[in-house]
Chains A and B, each alone.
Chain A
Amino acid sequence: AQSVTQLGSHVSVSEGALVLLRCNYSSSVPPYLFWYVQYPNQGLQLLLKYTSAATLVKGINGFEAEFKKSETSFHLTKPSAHMSDAAEYFCAVSVAGGGNKLTFGTGTQLKVEL
C-alpha cells in the first residue's frame, strides 16, 4: 500500500524567506502526488499535482514542487513567504488501480512571522 510521510508537523519562517515543506512517499507503482492547503476551519484546496508529466510542477500562489523518484520525494517550495501563506499543508498520494483514493500525510502547519 502507498503512504506519505511529512517531516515536521510545524514549520516557522520569516516573511520573505524560502518555504520548504518536505514530503516523502512510498509506493510500489508510479504515484500521483498532490499538495493541498487548508486554512482554519475550511476544506482543502489543491495547490498542485504531479501526474507523470514534468517533474517540476508549478501551482497556485507561487508554490512549486519537484518529483524526485530517486529520493521518493515531492517537497513543496516557495521562494518568498507571505503572511497569507500561513496554513496547514497536506501531501497526498494515489496510484493507478487504487480507485482514485488519496492517502494523506499528517500535515505541516506553516507559520509565517514578521
Chain B
Amino acid sequence: SQTIHQWPATLVQPVGSPLSLECTVEGTSNPNLYWYRQAAGRGLQLLFYSVGIGQISSEVPQNLSASRPQDRQFILSSKKLLLSDSGFYLCAWSAGTTGNTIYFGEGSWLTVV
C-alpha cells in the first residue's frame, strides 16, 4: 500500500532563517505531488504542484520554493522566512488522472518568530 511521510512535524524558526520541509511517498511511482498551506480560517491553499522530477508549478507568488530531486521526494524551501510564512503545511500525492483521490501527509506546523 502507499504511504506518505513528511517531516519535521513541528518547527519553530526565527524570521530570516532558512526552511526545509521534506516529503516522501512510498508504494507508488510517478505520483503527482503537492504542497498545500493551511492558515487559520482560510482553508487550504495550493502552493506547488509537480507531475514529475524537476517539474514544478507554482500556484501563488510567495517567499517559498519547491523541488523534486527524486520521483517520490518533494521538498519545500525558503531562503529567508517571513512571519507570514507561519502555518500548517501539508504534502500530498495522487495518481495522475483527474478525479483521482489526493492523499495527504500528517502535516508540519511552522511557527516563524
Number of A-B contacts (CB under 8 A): 62
Chain A binding surface SS class = loop
Distance from A50 Cβ to chain B, minimum over Cβ atoms (Å): 9
CB of A67 within 8 Å of the partner chain: no
Q: With the chains together, A98 CA to B57 CA distance in Å?
A: 12
Instruction: Give the contact-size bracket for chain A.
Output: 20 to 34
Q: Are A101 and B99 in contact (CB under 8 A)?
A: no
Instruction: Give the contact-size bracket for chain B.
Output: 20 to 34
Q: Are A106 and B107 in contact (CB under 8 A)?
A: no
Instruction: Point out the residues of chain B lying under 8 angstroms from A49, CB to CB.
Output: 99, 101
CB of A90 within 8 Å of the partner chain: yes
Q: Are B99 and A51 in contact (CB under 8 A)?
A: yes
Instruction: Give the interface of A toward B (CB within 8 A).
Output: 9, 32, 34, 36, 41-46, 49, 51, 90, 94-107
Instruction: Give the interface of B toward A (CB within 8 A).
Output: 32, 34, 41-46, 49, 51, 57, 59, 90, 94, 96-107, 109
